């Protein structure tokens, strides 16, 4: 199994790399792709791997996956955006998350016959929007700024609201720590987050000191951030707190105190984290997630449909019509995919040994499968961004240019200076690769830095003027 697991990790990385362009062009959901890969190599396909619900390997994968989901969500939060959209954030995290979780729990109690504790766990897990599937929409480049910001903040923050519900319900079902409910609450809400804040604060301080004394390679800062995530989890668990809340708290501390580290992590480290999360989808796809299709009943289907539409119904009432353009409002209301975070949250009581918790996975898996088909399929059919192009610069030694750069893909520095001399509006875009950008201090005056892998998306976010010349250079 160890060899098979290692081979599976390699296969995920290879497939993700080879099919990344196809996924980008077709918008085929990455989640669906890797669930299908798991199906092919799992028990219903070639039978190469199998990760049952009691698998220790699956427990390790799920634990690390949830740590990464919570940490990357937190470290990617823009504190300034949270403050600027605090009224919308309150609505999305209040009614949009808590009321949705409560209504799904009531539906689980009424339709599935679950007791209040398990129903609360299932409701909280199914109210969590999936950050992996959310990135498929946010990367499309044609999402209005308001919708992009609110959806990104929701996927990054709602687990902070839902995870304590899951952990609290687990504590109730297990009877607390020998009946000491005060101690259990202290460990959950104080020790865990406190350990995460401490690790994040000390980690950032040590990195700042190392930068000034000996220097730190930029690519290693992303690995350093991952190390902080796992360290925060381990420290909190050793102190009998919640390692998951500690991971989120550590990421939030880093986001608030060191923006440069966050940028580096999002550029480099998030790629490694995403590969691991896709590997987790393959593990679920090998057999476990398909249990959601077994024994489907009318009650089960009714619950699954309710679990998918209740969030939209709540937000349709709660979201204001003023201050949001109609398309942003429709996107925020409709796009609430369920995916990896739901599966990971619902597995926590299983790994903790809560009696009967394994029965919660099948209804959660059915909702996730329906969400992958519904939300993922809609992404493929959605509108694509505009096809405008920017002109790259060429060296002065290039062949003599045509009289005007209009209609061509390249221009020389002389043509650029001529445009500026005529008073044309020119926006310089620095789209060099990270290595070239990091190795020199020379920057074009007034140039906007755009990463080459997401230049179009980032340009759309910045709302660059449509009437201006957009001139990109990469050398």
pTM: 0.74
pLDDT for residue 319 is more than 50: yes
3-state secondary structure 341-368: HHHHHHHHHHHCCCCCHHHHHHHHHHHH
pLDDT for residue 211 is more than 70: yes
With H, G, I as helix, E, B as strand and everything else as coil, classify residue 412.
strand
Q: Among the listed ranges 141-155, 290-304, 356-370, 393-407, which one has the minimum average pLDDT value? A: 393-407
pLDDT for residue 185 is more than 80: no
Angstrom distance (rounded) from CA 5 to CA 38: 12
Domain positions in the chain are 2-381, 391-473
Note the CATH number of domain 2-381.
1.20.1530.20
User: Residues 257-297: pLDDT tens digits?
Assistant: 855 665 555 555 566 667 777 788 888 888 889 988 876 88
Which pLDDT does position 273 carry in this prediction?
67
Q: Which residue has the higher pLDDT, 227 or 385?
A: 227
Split at pLDDT 50, 70, 90, the class of 63 is confident
145 close to 461: Cβ distance less than 8 angstroms: yes
pLDDT for residue 386 is more than 50: no
Mean pLDDT is highest, among 73-77, 395-399, 409-413, for: 73-77
The percentage of the chain sitting over the pLDDT mark of 70, rounded to a whole number, equals 81
Q: What is the mean pLDDT of residues 210-220?
A: 78
Which pLDDT does position 175 carry in this prediction?
73
User: Residues 341-382: pLDDT tens digits?
Assistant: 899 899 999 988 888 889 999 999 999 999 999 888 887 776
Q: Which residue has the higher pLDDT, 451 or 151?
A: 151
Which pLDDT does position 260 carry in this prediction?
60
155 close to 130: Cβ distance less than 8 angstroms: yes
Split at pLDDT 50, 70, 90, the class of 306 is very high
Which pLDDT does position 88 carry in this prediction?
81
Please count the other Cβ atoms lying within 10 Å of the Cβ belonging to residue 81. 14
Q: What is the mean pLDDT of residues 414-435?
A: 77
Which pLDDT does position 30 carry in this prediction?
79
Which pLDDT does position 213 carry in this prediction?
86
Domain 391-473 classified CATH 1.10.3470?
Answer: no
Split at pLDDT 50, 70, 90, the class of 433 is low
Split at pLDDT 50, 70, 90, the class of 183 is confident
Radius of gyration, alpha carbons of the chain: 24
Split at pLDDT 50, 70, 90, the class of 124 is very high
pLDDT for residue 104 is more than 50: yes
CA 223 to chain centre: 18
pLDDT for residue 393 is more than 60: no
12 close to 276: Cβ distance less than 8 angstroms: no
Angstrom distance (rounded) from CA 429 to CA 459: 9
* Mean per-residue pLDDT over the chain, rounded: 80
How does 234-265 read in b/e, with b if 16+ C-beta sit within 10 Å? bbbbeeebbbbbbbbbbbbbbbbbbeebbebb
Q: Which residue has the higher pLDDT, 180 or 178?
A: 180
Q: Which of 261, 309, 242 is nearest to 76 (CA)?
A: 261
Split at pLDDT 50, 70, 90, the class of 140 is low
Please count the other Cβ atoms lying within 10 Å of the Cβ belonging to residue 44. 14
Q: Which residue has the higher pLDDT, 272 or 439?
A: 272
- List beta partners, residue 412: 394
Q: What is the mean pLDDT of residues 299-309?
A: 94
Which pLDDT does position 468 carry in this prediction?
77
With H, G, I as helix, E, B as strand and everything else as coil, classify residue 450.
coil
pLDDT for residue 392 is more than 60: no
Q: Among the listed ranges 31-45, 56-70, 100-114, 239-253, which one has the minimum average pLDDT value? A: 56-70
pLDDT for residue 20 is more than 50: yes
Q: Which residue has the higher pLDDT, 50 or 126?
A: 126
Q: What is the dihedral of CA 208, 213, 218, 219, to 10 degrees?
A: -100
With H, G, I as helix, E, B as strand and everything else as coil, classify residue 390.
coil
Split at pLDDT 50, 70, 90, the class of 118 is very high
């Amino acid at each position: 199994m160890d060899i098979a697991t290692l081979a599976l990790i390699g296969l995920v990385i290879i497939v993700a790399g080879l099919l990344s362009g196809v996924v980008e062009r077709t918008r085929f959901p990455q989640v669906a792709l890797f669930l299908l890969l798991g199906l092919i190599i799992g028990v219903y396909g070639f039978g190469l791997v199998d990760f049952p619900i009691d698998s220790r390997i699956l427990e390790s994968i799920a634990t690390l996956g949830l740590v990464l989901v919570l940490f990357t969500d937190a470290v990617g939060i823009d504190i300034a955006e949270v403050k600027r959209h605090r009224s919308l954030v309150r609505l999305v995290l209040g009614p949009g998350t808590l009321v949705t979780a409560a209504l799904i729990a009531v539906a689980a109690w009424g339709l599935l016959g679950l007791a209040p504790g398990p129903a609360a766990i299932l409701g909280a897990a199914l109210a969590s929007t999936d950050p992996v599937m959310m990135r498929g929409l946010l990367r499309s480049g044609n999402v209005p700024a308001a919708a992009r910001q609110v959806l990104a903040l929701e996927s990054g923050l709602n687990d902070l609201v839902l995870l304590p519900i899951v952990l609290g319900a687990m504590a109730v079902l297990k009877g607390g720590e020998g009946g000491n409910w005060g101690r259990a609450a202290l460990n959950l809400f104080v020790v865990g987050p406190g350990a995460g804040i401490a690790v994040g604060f000390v980690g950032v301080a040590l990195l700042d000191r190392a930068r000034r004394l000996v220097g730190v390679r930029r690519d290693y800062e992303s690995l350093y951030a991952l190390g902080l995530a796992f360290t925060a989890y381990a420290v909190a668990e050793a102190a009998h707190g919640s390692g998951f809340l500690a991971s989120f708290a550590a990421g939030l501390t880093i986001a608030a105190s060191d923006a440069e580290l966050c940028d580096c992590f999002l550029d480099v480290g998030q790629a490694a984290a995403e590969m691991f999360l896709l590997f987790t989808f393959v593990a679920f796809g090998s057999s476990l997630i398909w249990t959601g299709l077994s024994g489907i009943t009318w009650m089960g289907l009714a619950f699954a449909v309710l679990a998918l539409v209740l969030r939209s119904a709540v937000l349709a009432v709660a979201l204001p019509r003023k201050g949001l353009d109609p398309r942003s409002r429709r996107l925020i209301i409709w796009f609430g995919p369920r995916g990896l975070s739901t599966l990971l949250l619902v597995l926590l009581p299983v790994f903790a040994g809560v009696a009967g918790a394994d029965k919660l996975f099948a209804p959660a898996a059915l909702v996730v499968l329906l969400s992958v088909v519904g939300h993922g399929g809609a992404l493929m059919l959605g509108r694509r961004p505009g096809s405008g192009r920017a002109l790259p610069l060429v060296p002065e030694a290039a062949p003599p240019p045509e009289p005007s750069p209009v209609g061509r893909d390249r221009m020389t520095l002389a043509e650029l200076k001529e445009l500026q001399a005529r008073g044309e509006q020119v926006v310089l875009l620095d789209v060099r690769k990270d290595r070239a950008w990091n190795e020199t201090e020379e920057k074009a005056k007034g140039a906007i830095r755009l990463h080459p892998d997401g230049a179009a998306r980032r340009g759309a976010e910045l709302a660059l003027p449509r009437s201006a010349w957009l001139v990109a250079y990469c050398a």
